[in-house]
């Protein structure tokens, strides 16, 4: 990762932590984040989009499944702010409902991936040796499992279910995270400040979670911000195969796919979902970038 | 597929953008469609064929390919109608209409050089009727003496049946009863011969899906030979050097593309990679009407678009529920607003044709539908479990299904889930009755109402609904024995009425075939989508 500076010059957070009861990392990070305009813009946009998706549909006179076949596809108008699709369904409300699914899948799967991946990678990286070898072989084996077949297997056993989508995606997304964290932990654990902490007699748990992990947050955050959009696209891909959300439910992936097929005739069906989707992804990336700068004590400038 | 996220993201992006390219490795079609001199026809063929064994396949995509690789005794004429000699040079019919004698083409050759003999036909028919093969189209041969008995295992000596090879070039077929549509039905691939030694060599006569249909193994008697079959990419057939009428074959090569994604197919047509598409996206029809009407073809097609109902599963085993579902679809609205390709709303099980227009009609209004549902114990859809509607992956089917799903929800309060499957999986789900409701289409095998009514016979290979009604089977038999054409049609009318009362299927519309075609292609309209490839060519 290019965000790492030379390992010879770590700035240990430990001394400050000892004096200020250890919350200065997050406090400093918050102060630094606030100064980053793009990151603030990203955060605000995300909040607005999320609120709109979760509250918006309550204020709409239409449901995501209400059709108006006589109307058919219509351009944006006073009745339908973003127009309607070819079955006469209101695009705005479908976009908001789709956002629920997409954001939900993105968030849930990423949290799962983050939790499992970070813990797993940190443990493997820290202990090394045979435990590491065994743990990483398990990851390799899971890597080699074809994803679509894995999902189909899950469906055979548990039936068609949206929760399954979260589980399936989360269950495979943590693998890469574990690898990244393991590599970072292995490089950090040999640094002097870890030696120092160890010589103070701290336990393994404290070493891993309080001393090593904060120093590998940068790559984790960057990768997380990449995972969320990746997961959203994955959901679209699965829906296309008939394994994800089922019609008439919508998700951003589904809306964009449908829109792309009809863009020559009904361009608004692609433009609006595409814009909202891109805006969300940009915001996530800005926020992630800002978070990394704010949290990564070594790569930040102040 | 690998699990690496960047790869998946890319794959997903490709799907999102809808630009899933078909990989024409080394295809001459990349870029521009070659001109008429090359006489190479590129066409979208719907889905990847299930198989190429004419005694096994059942789908329309397979029909087109099988007609290129094999040839029956008779075939459709140059304008897509009438009857012309094919593997048989001429034939005679006895005055009582029971004995057909076919004299085979003296030059008839298989693609490996063997002459096509009457014995080949007899052994092919024996294979089709072998009970252990369980061919879905075995019933096509049932008009022949002993065929049904042999198929049911009541007759074990095939020489007792009405199929006789008088000498190597004379085939005699004796019927149980006068069957006015026999020649018509013989244009269907169930009557095509297969090269028995080849089938035997690769796994045996009574096995399905063996390697005999692979490139290099397949031996056919049709105007084209199989040159390449790349799964999910393309299937190439070259002009046959051994075909008896090779001088009349104008195309040098036909390239069939599996085009399950009709949006991609339309795009391939627009970029000149295809001469003809299999279908037309519903949303594109109006664009073509407006911008390039010369490339838009809407052909009449003898077929019905319907939903099969699994009559063995509760709550669909209750005919009141089935009828309620059937009545709650607004077909006029569907055809005018959703499909928009000049289809005819269907209220009966048989599309109108020259000889027969069914007077039967699915009748009743929405109130009637709601009343029936309430009578069955589900007032307003309450208490009804969630029913799944299965369709094969396609934008058009999805759009229709979404519209109907909503009609059922609004009109009846019935919740229906949509489920799509890839073609082969979908066919398998239908065959094994592993569905609740299932989208289906039936294109006539030959131009006669019998092809639509035969389907719902108890245990028919293509019934796939669990519908079994002795009264219906009796009438079907009666119709075949009917002394006059008018009597036969009267019985069909009664059968249709029975179907519309029992509702094992929900008729939706009668097909038209809408597709895009390069105006340079000479492609005769055929009511049952059975091309006679030697009459198809690229105009200068």
Within 8 A of A175 by CB-CB distance, chain B residues are 3
The tokens of A185 are what?
Answer: 């932990």
Q: Is A154 on the interface with B (CB under 8 A)?
A: no
Average pLDDT over residues B280-292: 87
Angle at CA of residue B35, ends B31 and B38, nearest 5°:
105
pLDDT at A104: 85
Residues B94 and B119 in one domain: yes
Average model confidence (pLDDT) across chain A: 79
The tokens of A299 are what?
Answer: 């790569």
Residues of B with CB under 8 A from a CB of A: 1-5, 8-9, 11-13, 15-18, 263, 281-284, 286-287, 333-334, 337-338, 393, 395, 398-399, 401-403, 405-406, 409, 417-421
3-state secondary structure of B421: strand
The pLDDT of residue A16 is above 50: no
CA A156 to chain centre: 27
Q: Is A152 on the interface with B (CB under 8 A)?
A: no
> Cis peptide before A248, with omega less than 30 degrees from 0?
yes
What does DSSP assign to residue A302?
Answer: -
Q: Which domain holds residue B128?
A: 7-264+517-538
What ipTM was reported for this prediction? 0.70
Within 8 A of B409 by CB-CB distance, chain A residues are 65
- Asked whether the beta carbons of residue B403 and residue A67 sit closer than 8 angstroms, the reply is yes
Within 8 A of A176 by CB-CB distance, chain B residues are 4-5
Residues B496 and B528 in one domain: no
Point out the least confidently predicted range of B10-24, B125-139, B195-209. Answer: B10-24
Distance from the Cα of A262 to chain B's closest Cα (Å) equals: 7
Beta-strand runs (E) in B231-369: 234-239, 253-257, 296-309, 344-345
For chain B, the domain total comes to 2
Instruction: Classify residue B210: in a domain, yes or no.
Output: yes
Higher-scoring residue by pLDDT: A272, B1: A272
pLDDT at B287: 87
Burial class, B341, CB count within 10 angstroms (exposed 0-12 / middle 13-18 / buried 19+)? buried
The tokens of A274 are what?
Answer: 């595409």
pLDDT at B12: 35
The tokens of A132 are what?
Answer: 């590491």
Task: Give the pTM.
Answer: 0.74
Tokens 């289409």, residue? B441
Q: Chain A interface, mutation test: which of B17, B18, B423, most A Cβ atoms within 10 Å?
A: B18
* Contact predicate A216/A179, CB 8 Å: no
* Contact predicate B444/B352, CB 8 Å: no
Within 8 A of A266 by CB-CB distance, chain B residues are 283
The proportion of chain A whose per-residue pLDDT surpasses 90, expressed as a percent, equals 8
Residues B253 and B363 in one domain: no
Residues B251 and B322 in one domain: no
Residues B77 and B182 in one domain: yes
| Residue B262 pLDDT class (50, 70, 90 cuts) | confident
What does DSSP assign to residue A84?
Answer: B
Residues B258 and B317 in one domain: no
Instruction: Classify residue B170: in a domain, yes or no.
Output: yes
Residues B457 and B523 in one domain: no
Average pLDDT over residues B35-53: 87
Q: What is the CATH classification number for the domain harbouring B140?
A: 3.40.190.10
Average pLDDT over residues A177-202: 86
3-state secondary structure of B43: strand
Instruction: Classify residue B63: in a domain, yes or no.
Output: yes
* Contact predicate B196/B123, CB 8 Å: yes
3-state secondary structure of B470: helix
Instruction: Classify residue B489: in a domain, yes or no.
Output: yes
Instruction: Classify residue B287: in a domain, yes or no.
Output: no
Residues B343 and B373 in one domain: yes
pLDDT at A142: 85
The tokens of B135 are what?
Answer: 């061919």
Select the highest-mean-pLDDT range: A21-30, A48-57, A168-177, B120-129.
B120-129
Residue B88: closest CA among B70, B77, B101 = B101
Dihedral of CA A67/A69/A72/A77: which sign?
A: negative
Q: Which helix (H) or strand (E) holds B224?
A: strand B224-230
3-state secondary structure of A261: helix
Instruction: Classify residue B425: in a domain, yes or no.
Output: yes
pLDDT at A9: 44
Instruction: Classify residue B330: in a domain, yes or no.
Output: yes
Residues B322 and B381 in one domain: yes
Residues B500 and B527 in one domain: no
Give CA–CA dist B479/B490, Å, rounded: 8
| Residue B128 pLDDT class (50, 70, 90 cuts) | very high
Counting every residue, how long is chain B? 540
Residues B89 and B158 in one domain: yes
Tokens 């799944």, residue? B388
Give CA–CA dist A234/A251, Å, rounded: 11
Residues B506 and B525 in one domain: no
Beta-strand runs (E) in chain A: none
Within 8 A of B2 by CB-CB distance, chain A residues are 143, 146-147
The pLDDT of residue B292 is above 60: yes
Instruction: Classify residue B285: in a domain, yes or no.
Output: no
Q: What is the CATH classification number for the domain harbouring B456?
A: 3.10.105.10
């Amino acid at each position: 990762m290019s965000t790492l500076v030379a390992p010879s010059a770590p700035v240990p957070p430990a001394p400050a932590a000892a004096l200020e009861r250890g919350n200065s990392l997050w406090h400093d990070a918050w102060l630094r984040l606030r100064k980053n305009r793009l990151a603030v813009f990203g955060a605000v946009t995300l909040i607005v989009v999320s609120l709109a998706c979760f509250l918006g549909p309550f204020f709409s006179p239409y449901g995501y499944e209400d059709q108006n076949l006589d109307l058919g596809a219509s351009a944006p108008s006073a009745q339908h702010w973003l127009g309607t699709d070819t079955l006469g369904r209101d695009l705005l409300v479908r976009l908001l409902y789709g956002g629920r699914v997409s954001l939900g899948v993105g968030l849930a799967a990423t949290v799962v991936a983050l939790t499992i991946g970070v813990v797993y990678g940190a443990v493997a990286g820290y202990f090394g040796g045979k435990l590491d070898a065994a743990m990483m072989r398990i990851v390799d084996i899971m890597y080699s499992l074809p994803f679509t077949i894995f999902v189909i297997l899950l469906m055979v056993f548990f039936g068609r279910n949206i929760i399954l989508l979260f589980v399936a995606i989360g269950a495979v997304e943590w693998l890469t995270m574990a690898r990244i964290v393991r590599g970072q932990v292995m490089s950090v654990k040999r640094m002097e400040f870890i030696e120092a902490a160890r010589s103070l007699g701290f336990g393994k748990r404290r070493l891993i979670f309080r001393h090593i992990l904060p120093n590998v947050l940068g790559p984790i955050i960057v990768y997380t911000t990449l995972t969320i959009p990746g997961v959203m696209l994955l959901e679209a891909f699965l829906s296309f195969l008939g394994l994800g959300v089922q019609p008439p439910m919508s998700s951003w992936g589904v809306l964009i796919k449908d829109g792309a097929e009809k863009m020559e005739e009904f361009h608004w069906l692609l433009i609006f979902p595409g814009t909202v989707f891109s805006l969300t992804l940009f915001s996530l990336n800005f926020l992630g970038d800002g978070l990394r700068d704010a949290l990564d004590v070594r790569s930040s400038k102040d | 597929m690998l699990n690496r996220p960047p790869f998946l993201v890319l794959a997903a992006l490709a799907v999102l953008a809808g630009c899933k390219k078909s990989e024409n490795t080394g295809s001459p079609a990349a870029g521009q469609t070659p001109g008429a001199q090359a006489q190479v026809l590129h066409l979208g063929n719907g889905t990847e064929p299930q198989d190429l064994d004419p005694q096994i396949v059942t789908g329309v995509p397979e029909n087109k390919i099988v007609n290129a690789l094999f040839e029956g005794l008779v075939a459709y004429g140059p304008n897509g109608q009438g009857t012309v000699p094919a593997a048989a040079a001429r034939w005679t019919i006895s005055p009582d209409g029971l004995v057909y004698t076919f004299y085979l083409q003296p030059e008839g050759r298989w693609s490996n050089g063997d002459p096509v003999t009457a014995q080949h036909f007899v052994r092919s028919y024996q294979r089709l009727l072998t009970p252990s093969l369980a061919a879905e189209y075995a019933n096509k041969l049932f008009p022949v003496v002993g065929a049904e008995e042999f198929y049911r295992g009541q007759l074990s000596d095939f020489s007792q049946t009405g199929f006789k090879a008088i000498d190597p070039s004379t085939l005699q077929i004796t019927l149980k009863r006068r069957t006015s549509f026999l020649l018509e039905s013989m244009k269907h691939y169930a009557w095509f011969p297969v090269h028995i030694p080849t089938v035997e060599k690769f796994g045996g006569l009574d096995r399905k899906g063996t390697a005999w249909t692979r490139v290099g193994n397949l031996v056919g008697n049709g105007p084209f030979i199989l040159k390449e079959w790349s799964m999910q990419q393309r299937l190439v057939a070259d002009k046959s050097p051994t075909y008896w009428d090779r001088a009349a074959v104008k195309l040098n090569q036909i390239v069939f593309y599996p085009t399950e994604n009709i949006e991609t197919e339309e795009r391939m047509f627009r970029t000149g990679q295809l001469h003809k598409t299999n279908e037309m996206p519903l949303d594109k029809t109006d664009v073509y009407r407006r911008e390039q009407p010369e490339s838009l073809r809407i052909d009449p097609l003898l077929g019905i678009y319907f939903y099969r109902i699994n009559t063995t599963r509760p709550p669909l085993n209750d005919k009141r529920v089935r009828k309620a579902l059937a009545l709650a679809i607004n077909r006029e609205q569907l055809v005018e607003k959703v499909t928009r390709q000049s289809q005819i709303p269907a209220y009966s099980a048989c599309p109108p044709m020259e000889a027969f227009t069914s007077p039967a009609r699915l009748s009743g209004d929405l109130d009637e539908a709601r009343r029936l549902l309430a009578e069955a114990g589900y007032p307003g859809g309450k208490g009804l479990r969630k029913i799944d509607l299965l369709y094969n992956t396609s934008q058009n089917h999805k759009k229709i299904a979404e519209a109907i799903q909503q009609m059922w929800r609004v009109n009846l309060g019935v919740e229906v889930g949509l489920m799509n499957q890839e073609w082969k999986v979908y066919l398998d789900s239908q065959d094994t009755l592993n569905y609740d409701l299932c989208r289906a289409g039936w294109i006539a095998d030959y131009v006669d109402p019998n092809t639509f009514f035969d389907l719902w016979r108890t245990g028919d290979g293509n019934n796939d609904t669990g519908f079994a009604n002795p009264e219906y089977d009796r009438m079907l038999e009666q119709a075949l024995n009917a002394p006059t054409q008018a009597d036969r049609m009267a019985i069909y009318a009664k059968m249709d009425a029975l179907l519309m009362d029992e509702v094992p299927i929900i008729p939706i519309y009668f097909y038209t075939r809408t597709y895009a075609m390069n105006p340079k292609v000479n492609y005769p309209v055929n009511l049952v989508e059975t091309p006679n490839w030697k009459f198809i060519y690229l105009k200068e």
